[in-house]
Structure 1
Amino acid sequence: MARSTEPILALPPHVADAIRQSLPTVAEHVVTAIIDEVPGYTDAFTGPMGETIRNAVQLALGGFLTLAGGRRGTDLRAATSSTAPAAEGAYQLGRGEARSGRTTDAILSAYRIGAREAWAQMAGDAVGAGLDARTLASFAGLVFAYIDTLSAASVAGHTDELATTGRVRQRQLERLAQQLLDGEAEAGLLETAERADWTPPTTLTAVVLPEARLRGTAAALNPATLHALEPPGLDGAVLLLVPDAHGRGRSALLRTLEGRDAVVGPAKPWTQVRASYDRAMRARALGLLGDTEVHLPALVLTADPDALADLRARALAPLADLRPATAEKLAETLRAWLLHQGRRDEVAAALFVHPQTVRYRMGQVREAFGDRLDDPETVLALTVALGLGLDAAP
């Protein structure tokens, strides 16, 4: 503090006694002024917290008199060592105010108003006890230097409490994210959510994105988004669990994540978000970015690669005896024919060939498959087998 090296002026004993006798009245004036003038303190002086604040006010005033009654020439830093209880009380007051949700602005306003009120009362007592004007001026400097010290202690307490509370809450949120991925029972999830002061949403959506994109993305998402720490298989990516991004909220989420190389799983009931995470990771493994719901056919068809390979081999068995190049062209044509429901011109446009070429190739296909192309089960098997195209090997 800038004033800490300045000598202080000890009050004459009779003046200190006169002020001490009026301390209870001064404390009440200070409390009343704070209640009247600082928004948010109207209800703060009721209950246990109110008693704590009143005690802190009286402790601060008593500590000040201890300081003001010290030896002449003692500097403020040395003198305040004897008023450590008042500083500790101010520190604890700051922590309590942080737990109550009030800001440092409110605390500092209370100190300014309290200093003004206390000074007016104590100055009147000091003058009434015969304190001269010059000494009174020094007395004023001491009052406000002391208030500076206490307000700094309260701000430090407020800051420390927020930091401690924030760390504890963050650990609980991280634990909750891990429990969700581990499939914890709902009772355990609710307990952790309550400890973390996190209100369970209707749904959670898993979002996987590159770690380098996290900073610019997190600020644009729901503040209640959970950040999972190092779930397996991410390899340089991060996992976010976004609350209530279903319905119209999903469109908003996708717009926010556009161009960020994110994979967005489906919205699931919040206790079942592991299913959203698994789907997002499968899409990522396939190199599919964006909305996993756009890629559902690919995700379904690749769910069991061995089964798909066996299905493809069995469904296309009638083409197995043809030359590979011919078999590939016919399979490609058959796929387009199935997807375009036999509309020859559309099939030709999709394959960039003439409609007559499509007619010729389909003649070969029918020759190979015979009546089986009229069987719904065969058509289903071929549609699934060829759904991803021949270049998407299972």
Structure 2
Amino acid sequence: MTPDLAPFPEAVAEAMRAELPKVAERAVEEIIVAVPSYADAFLGPMGRKISSAVELTLRGFLQLAAAGGNADAATPGGSVVEAAYALGRGEARSGRSMDALLAAYRVGARVSWRDMSAAAVAAGLGPEPVARFAELVFAYIDRLSAASVAGHADELASSGRARQRLLERLAHGLLTGSPHTELAAMAERAEWVPPRTLTVVLLPEGRARGALVSLDPRTLVAAEDVPDLDRTGDLAVLLVPDAEGAARGALLRGLGGREAVVGPARPWRNAQASYGRALRALRLGMISVDAGPLDTDAHLAELVLRADEEALADLRARVLAPLESVGPTAREKLTETLRSWLMHQGRRDQVAAALFVHPQTVRYRMTQLRELYGSRLEEPRTVLDLTVALGVALPTAAPPDDVR
């Protein structure tokens, strides 16, 4: 609570008013010494304007204090509060914390109190009014400091929200394939330094916040209206900078235990390509809840083979047609053997080990397959078609007609 203060004698008030220009100049000088980051701002014409503003502020306070009272004297006028609030916002826009401004307030209060109280004592003001006057000075400065802190916080909040919206627009532009010139302009407006590459990660929204903790702080998060994602559930889309090479392993480890799909690293302006591949893998059902993140780079063959599911089914039906003459159980075993024979390039012992059967069983089954296919098993084109058709495992015990 601020103290009551009797009106100053006119002689005292006049002596203090006469000292104000010098007090303001000395306050600025000492602020420059105590807060070096303000040195440039106080030089030249700007310094004179600031000195004048300090003097006007002190003059307004002195007018209130000299008139007596407590609450009025310790409460800055509306225009002064607005100026302090604007000063705090300006500090935030300049990228500075409140430390420098609060230090400047403290120095200004100390100098003002020291010099103005000296003038008051020299003019005959007693010790008790001087002490009360000191409390009013520092209460007044506290109010100004609070106004500046509020301005600083409000500016950070509003600028943070504005920048977040700009970053979300940039993410949307990247995912929709906006022209390169537009992307560069959006990145500049959002003050986002473009990386070499971007890697798209799809994961449940509820797990995105935890994942962001270990990712590059430049990671973009796509908000609403993500293209083509409406059919895949509540998923978040992250665009992770420079996650290629060794950094990709770190990304996958950081996503460990999360149901996520990781697209390929692409030049940052072509992030749409990474998004498209991750989305295809997701829609093909390649992700497993228990298997952790799916690295699409490790499943390129499967992505290629399943790019056209209907064509793949037709190819399987055609190349497996010779097996239609045998029963379902034999057909399944022969198909499994043929696939392993292709994958192991005809090495009988390796095929047997993969199928957990005796090598003689493999010999017997391959004899059956050669009878069914004839010389076609030696034709490069047939081998290629069979390899492609059987490159993705068939559903268990599913005959070709059921596949199609």
Q: 1:67·1:83 contact (CA, 8 Å) conserved in 2?
A: no
Quote the residue 1:42 is aligned against: 39
Gaps of 5+ in 2: 288-292, 397-402
SS in 2 for 1:208: strand
Quote the residue 1:163 is aligned against: 157
Q: 2:203·2:258 contact (CA, 8 Å) conserved in 1?
A: yes
Alignment of 1:47-58 (within 5 A): 53-58=50-55
Deviation at 1:325, TM superposition (A): 1.9
* Deviations 1:320-345, CA, capped at 9 Å, x for gaps: 22222212211110000010111111
Percent of paired sites with the same residue: 58
Gaps of 5+ in 1: none
Q: 2:74·2:136 contact (CA, 8 Å) conserved in 1?
A: no
Q: 2:177·2:270 contact (CA, 8 Å) conserved in 1?
A: yes
Quote the residue 2:212 is aligned against: 218
Structure 1 position 104 matched with structure 2 position 105? no
Structure 1 position 85 matched with structure 2 position 79? yes
Cα distance in 2 for residues equivalent to 1:304 and 1:298? 11
* Deviations 1:137-176, CA, capped at 9 Å, x for gaps: 1110110000000000110110011111101111111111
Which amino acid letter does the alignment assign opposite residue 204 of structure 1? L
Quote the residue 1:151 is aligned against: 145
Deviation at 1:32, TM superposition (A): 1.6
Quote the residue 2:26 is aligned against: 29
Cα distance in 1 for residues equivalent to 2:63 and 2:57? 10
Alignment of 1:129-278 (within 5 A): 129-230=123-224, 231=226, 232-233=229-230, 234-278=232-276
Cα distance in 2 for residues equivalent to 1:52 and 1:281? 59
Q: 1:284 to 1:132 in 2, by over 3 A?
A: same
Cα distance in 2 for residues equivalent to 1:205 and 1:48? 50
Q: 1:209·1:239 contact (CA, 8 Å) conserved in 2?
A: yes
Q: 1:82 to 1:251 in 2, by over 3 A?
A: closer
Quote the residue 1:325 is aligned against: 329
Aligned length: 388
Which of structure 1's runs of 4+ aligned residues deviate more than 6 A?
A: none
- Comparing 148-157 with 235-244, which one deviates more in the overlay? 235-244
SS in 2 for 1:41: helix
Q: 1:56·1:93 contact (CA, 8 Å) conserved in 2?
A: no
SS in 2 for 1:172: helix
* Deviations 1:348-384, CA, capped at 9 Å, x for gaps: 1111111111010011111111111111111111011
Cα distance in 1 for residues equivalent to 2:43 and 2:384? 74
TM-score by length of 1: 0.93
Deviation at 1:11, TM superposition (A): 2.8
